[in-house]
């Protein structure tokens, strides 16, 4: 099978110009009823400032240690201004998490559906996840580290969302086994291993930066590593 990247990182970014501001626009549109500021441009501007500040403070001291006064001081927005958008930091974290995961899942599904067979769909899924985590790396890292700060009921939602990617890869592997493209004894464990390798890119970004490894180089490595362990060399689909 041709294991060339289905698209470059530059092509992905042009197709999906992701940003914190874009996510905040979605947060505003989905929470119009609870957000008191009705001027969309102002609301998105302040939500963007708040989200960037939350990520910055959380990176320094952890979300659990951040108070609304810390957020107010660092963002240069009054406590009253913050309460126009949410009643607690946990509520805002939940808004961030739900919107961020929904966006990630949507882009993943759209990209995977464009594949012609299981092999192409798996290849596209791996590249899409890597490129997503590269384009909004701070958000990926934040979500992973701070999911524990959600309320118990929201943690369950977060776990379900977190498992989404792993489940997608598991289903792709099972489909590939069924149609003869893949030969794998344990698709669940293989999907878990793929997810772990994907997470390594944004959780240990410093390691790859120091070694000057680009996201496309990592994608090429990961694709070849995975396919060496799953490919059914007798499959007509791959020839």
- Give the tens place of pLDDT for each residue, 171-198: 999 999 999 999 999 999 999 999 999 9
> Residues 215, 218, 219, 220: is their CA dihedral positive or negative?
positive
Cβ contacts of 63-71, under 8 Å, gap ≥ 24: 63/89, 63/93, 63/145, 63/146, 63/149, 64/148, 64/149
Superfamily (CATH) of domain 9-233: Tetracycline Repressor, domain 2 (1.10.357.10)
CA-to-CA distance for 122 and 171, rounded, in angstroms? 10
Model confidence at 238, pLDDT cuts 50, 70, 90, reads very low
Give the pLDDT confidence of 75-103 residue by residue, as tens digits.
999 999 999 999 999 999 989 988 988 89
Q: What is the pLDDT, as a whole number, of residue 239?
A: 45
Model confidence, pTM: 0.89
Is residue 115 very low, low, confident or very high in pLDDT (cuts 50, 70, 90)? very high
The residue written with tokens 């006064």 in the block is: 69
Bridge partners (DSSP) of residue 231 are: 182
What's residue 161's pLDDT?
67
List the structure tokens of 109.
């599904």
CA distances from 9 to 136, 142, 201, 212, 238 (A): 13, 22, 14, 16, 25
């Amino acid at each position: 099978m041709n294991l060339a990247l289905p698209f470059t990182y530059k092509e992905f970014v042009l197709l999906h110009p992701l940003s914190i501001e874009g996510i905040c626009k979605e947060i505003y549109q989905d929470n119009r009823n609870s957000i008191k500021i009705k001027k969309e441009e102002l609301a998105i501007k302040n939500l963007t400032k708040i989200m960037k500040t939350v990520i910055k403070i959380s990176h320094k001291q952890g979300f659990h240690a951040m108070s609304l006064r810390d957020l107010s001081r660092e963002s240069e927005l009054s406590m009253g201004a913050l309460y126009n958008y949410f009643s607690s930091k946990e509520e805002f974290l939940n808004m961030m998490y739900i919107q961020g995961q929904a966006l990630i899942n949507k882009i993943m599904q759209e990209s995977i559906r464009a594949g012609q067979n299981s092999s192409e769909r798996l290849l596209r899924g791996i590249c899409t996840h890597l490129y997503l985590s590269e384009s909004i790396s701070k958000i990926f890292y934040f979500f992973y580290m701070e999911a524990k700060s959600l309320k118990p009921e929201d943690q369950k939602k977060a776990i379900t969302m977190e498992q989404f990617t792993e489940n997608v890869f598991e289903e792709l592997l099972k489909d590939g086994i069924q149609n003869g493209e893949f030969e794998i004894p344990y698709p669940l464990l293989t999907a878990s291993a793929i997810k772990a390798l994907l997470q390594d890119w944004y959780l240990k970004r410093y390691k790859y930066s120091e070694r000057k490894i680009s996201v496309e180089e990592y994608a090429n490595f990961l694709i070849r590593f995975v396919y060496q362990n799953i490919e059914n060399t007798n499959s007509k689909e791959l020839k």
